Amino acid sequence: MKSSMIASLLMLGLAHGLQLSAQEKDDIKAEIDAWKKSRAGQLAAKNGLLPEPSNLESGEIDDGSEEIERFAHTKQVVAELNKKHPHAKFSTNNQFALMTEDEFAAFVKGSFSA
């Protein structure tokens, strides 16, 4: 069930451009920081599943907005899946929470080609 949950979560895709207030962004950033310290976040780091910092113009600072967007979308999908499937339990507590659909598909494809 875990792998089907993760696949369902990621197959819904990443919706860019979520409208978040400054407070929501701060709250999600704190959640990401906690997630990175959790077992799931540690596994993601160990397995190379965290997103690379965006290629920024020289002098720009990576403010983590890409991670915030990814995690916010994952939270949104988790809420929708929990509503749609009340007898199942979906969460962001997995190592794939910051991956895009394409990244996850490449990861899965690579695991079956070995």
Whole-model pTM: value is: 0.74
pLDDT in tens, 26-43: 999 999 999 999 999 999
Structure tokens at 54: 């965006």
Look at residue 4 in the predicted model and tell me its pLDDT: 54
Which own/partner pairs from 14-18 qualify as long-range (CB within 8 Å, at least 24 positions apart)?
14/69, 14/70, 14/73, 14/100, 14/101, 15/73, 15/76, 16/69, 17/69, 18/69, 18/72, 18/73, 18/76
List per-block mean pLDDT (blocks of 10 residues) for the chain, which spans 114 residues.
Answer: 53 57 96 98 96 64 84 92 96 94 86 66
Residue carrying structure tokens 């600072």? 61
